[in-house]
Amino acid sequence: MRFLRFVTLGAFALSLLASGAFAAEDKAAKQAEVQKKTAAALERFYKAKPELKDAAAKAPGYGIFTTYGFSFVVGGAGGSGIVHDNKTKHVTYMNVGGASAGLQLGASQTEVLIIFKTAAAMNNFVANGWTAGGAATASAGAGSATAGGGKGETEMGDAAVYTMTKNGLEVGLAAGASKFWKDKDLN
């Protein structure tokens, strides 16, 4: 009887250890997937606007996100990305979600680059998230610019925000917001 209880407890302990190891592998795999997507997005920004590479390197840090969305009068989008602290080299994994309403139609994959002008702005973004408003958009296909005067650049306080539509079609005038927050599972 004691032997059976010992074997059962041992099996239970091993299953807990194994599930922890699998969770760590799953977390690492998800982190690697986000890193791969954000690195590719960053390279597309640098190719489209080479001066961004220098700006991102000299800044206290930057955020890079990929979102996927659909809109027909009411729209929604979601995605993930990272904030990279240039001083400490620390990476914070984050999520983004958004909603909009207005005269809009489309489905797209959009990439967002945020270059922080101050460490305080970057740290506040990481600690508290951030909500950004929407504007008129008109984009189609790979490499198209979205909101921000047609060049895909918007100044938001102590950050410069660049957007680029990788794939899809998006047209309209809408009001909306995006919310950024830490990914509790990947950090």
Tens digit of pLDDT for each residue in 83-131?
A: 999 999 999 999 999 888 877 777 888 899 999 999 999 999 999 887 6
d(CA 56, CA 159): 11
Predicted pLDDT at 2: 52
Residue 133 burial (CB count, 10 A): 12
- Of 128 and 82, which is predicted with more confidence? 82
- Whether 145 has a pLDDT exceeding 80, the answer reads no
32-73 residue pLDDT tens: 999 999 999 999 999 999 999 999 999 999 999 999 988 887
One-letter amino acid at 38 equals T
d(CA 102, CA 75): 9
Predicted pLDDT at 149: 34
d(CA 116, CA 124): 11
Q: What's the mean pLDDT when you consider all of the chain?
A: 79
Predicted pLDDT at 160: 92
Question: Residue 118 — φ and ψ, nearest 5°?
Answer: -135, 155
- Whether 12 has a pLDDT exceeding 90, the answer reads no
Helix (H, G, I), strand (E, B) or coil at 167: strand
Predicted pLDDT at 152: 55
pLDDT grade for 151, boundaries at 50, 70 and 90: very low
17-42 residue pLDDT tens: 444 444 567 999 999 999 999 999 99
Q: Would you say 116 and 130 are in contact if contact means Cβ atoms under 8 Å apart?
A: no
One-letter amino acid at 183 equals D
H or E element, residue 72:
strand 61-85
Longest Cα separation, the chain: 76
One-letter amino acid at 155 equals E
Report residue 44 as tokens. Answer: 């597309």
Predicted pLDDT at 183: 96
